[in-house]
Amino acid sequence: MGDTMTSPALLDVAGITQRFDVSKPWLQRLIAGDPIRVLRAIDDVSFSIAPGTTLSLVGESGCGKSTMARLAVGLYTPSEGSIRFAGQDLSAARAQPALRRRMNMIFQDPYASLNPRWLVTDIVAEPIRQFRLAQGKAAIRARVGALLTQVGLTAADGDKYPHEFSGGQRQRISIARALASEPDFLVCDEPTSALDVSVQAQILNLMKDLQRRLGLTYLFISHNLAVVRHMSDRLGVMYLGRIVELGAAETILRTPRHPYTRLLLDAIPDLDHIGRARTPVGGEVPSPIAPPPGCSFHPRCPLANDRCRQEKPRYTVVDGVQIACHAVEEGR
């Protein structure tokens, strides 16, 4: 199931599953007689990212994108499967500061991701101090100043508090902090979805620019296909904890094959086809606590038949793209 690549992967995710116990507290459960409830946030997901490239994961709210982001930097330990970073098991890699330094994360909410009581200098300097990348006050200040300049702020901004900045500027501070550990792998969890559209483009261009100059590798999480189109080399479409389509971003966006990807792309407004009748994606994402049997997309899928309702689809490879769909496999 692992997808084929020419260069060795920087991040290699193999068959991981993440379950969360979402039962009520023990005593309440005992009194009410409720069973243990388990949420399957990630269900048998595999992908890998080559150095210097961007893999994007898209999907609706609750499909497990953010859980995947946290798994990729080791904030969660997967219930099953393995994640390897630079050829080593992720938890082993994270035990070594020299390897842990090479991964960092950019968060969605620029208001919650910066400690309101800390000066910007201290926020950006935290990874520098943690990994002892500079010694002495003056050296750290100089490094922080350089990082702030690199993301389009000024060194003097270090003496301010986060609340003195706009959302876009805060996201720049967040990027400066992520770069402070001199990483080569960045997990970006919806870094622009909390920003105004005009500011989104600036932040995305900054990130692309930094990728080109520093050779960064991105795992980019988003629900916005327009943003993904701009950023990605490869693309994975997630639905209810599974990757339903995975391959080169250009191929998928040009000829989407999975019915879910097609519905998602169909829902994007298009200036060339004004007044075109669009098929909205009907229904809601089912609960991951009680996912539907068979293909989890079948309750909303226009092509679903009896096989889809019973049997989990395996990946079919078409044009270098992996698709988990019976209809594609059968050519329906």
Partner 1 sequence: MRQWLDSDLAYSFRTRPTAILSVIILLVLTIGAVFAPLLAPHNPMDSASLSLMDSFKPPLGWPDSEWTNPLGTDNQGRDVLSAIMYGMRISLLVGVCAVVFAVAVGITVGLIAGYAGGVVDALLMRLADIQLTFPAILTALLIDGIISSALPASMREPLQIYIIVVAIGISLWPGFARTVRGSTLVERNKDYVMAARVIGVPSSRIMLSHVLPNVIGPALVVGTLGLGLAILAEATLSFLGVGLPPTQPSLGTLIRFGNDFLFSGQWWVTVFPGLTLVLLVLAINLLGDWLRDALNPRLR
- Give the separation between CA 181 and CA 125, rounded to whole angstroms: 9
Burial (CB count <10 Å: 0-12, 13-18, 19+), residue 230? buried
* Least distance to partner 1, CB of residue 227, Å: 19
CA separation for the pair 46, 16 (Å, rounded): 7
Q: Which of 16, 42, 57, 73 binds partner 1 (CB under 8 A)?
A: 73
Q: How far apart are CA 228 and CA 233, in angstroms?
A: 9
321 binds partner 1, rule: CB under 8 A: no
**Of residues 10-29, those binding partner 1 (CB under 8 A):** 25-26
Give residues with Cβ within 8 angstroms of 150, minimum separation 6: 176, 179, 210
- Which residue, among 271, 231, 263, 268, has the nearest Cα to 245 in the 3D structure? 263
**Shortest Å distance, C-beta 190 to partner 1:** 11
Residues 74-93 close enough to bind partner 1 by CB under 8 A? 74-75
User: Binding of partner 1 at residue 194 (CB under 8 A)?
Assistant: no
- In the list 68, 90, 114, 263, the residue contacting partner 1 (rule: CB under 8 A) is 114
Q: What does residue 260 show for φ and ψ, rounded to 5 degrees?
A: -70, -45
Query: Rounded distance, CA 148 to CA 175, Å?
Result: 9
DSSP three-state, residue 265? helix
Work out how close the CB of 105 gets to partner 1 at its nearest, in angstroms, rounded to a whole number.
5
Indicate which single residue of 18, 181, 192, 232 sits in contact with partner 1 (rule: CB under 8 A): 181
Residue partners of 30: CB distance under 8 A and separation at least 6: none
CB of 231 vs partner 1, minimal distance in Å:
20
- Minimum Å gap between C-beta 167 and partner 1 is 13
Kindly tell me which residue out of 46, 48, 108, 121 binds partner 1, with binding defined by CB under 8 A.
Answer: 108
Within 8 A by CB and 6+ apart from 261, the residues are 237, 244, 245, 252
Using CB under 8 A, pick the residue from 19, 29, 94, 307 that binds partner 1. Answer: 94
Q: Does residue 60 belong to the site contacting partner 1 (CB under 8 A)? A: no
- Compute the least distance from the CB of residue 25 to partner 1, in Å: 7
Does 261 interact with partner 1 (rule: CB under 8 A)? no
Closest approach of partner 1 to the CB of residue 327, in Å: 39
Position 217 contacts partner 1 (CB under 8 A): no
Q: Residue from 58, 59, 68, 107 that binds partner 1 (CB under 8 A)?
A: 107
Which C-beta is closer to partner 1: that of 123 or that of 323? Answer: 123
List 40, 65, 101, 257, residue binding partner 1 (CB under 8 A): 101
Angle (CA) 167 168 170, round 5°: 65
Among 28, 130, 166, 205, binds partner 1 (CB under 8 A): 130
Q: Is 97 in the site for partner 1 (CB under 8 A)?
A: yes
Task: Quote the CA–CA distance of 237 and 331 in Å, as a whole number.
Answer: 20
User: To the nearest whole angstrom, how small is the minimum distance from the Cβ of residue 232 to partner 1?
Assistant: 22
Beta bridge partners of 219: 55, 187
Phi-psi label, residue 143: left if phi above 0, alpha if psi -120 to 50, beta otherwise: alpha
Interface positions with partner 1 (CB under 8 A): 25-26, 70, 73-75, 94, 97, 100-101, 103-105, 107-109, 112-117, 123, 126-127, 130-131, 174, 177, 181
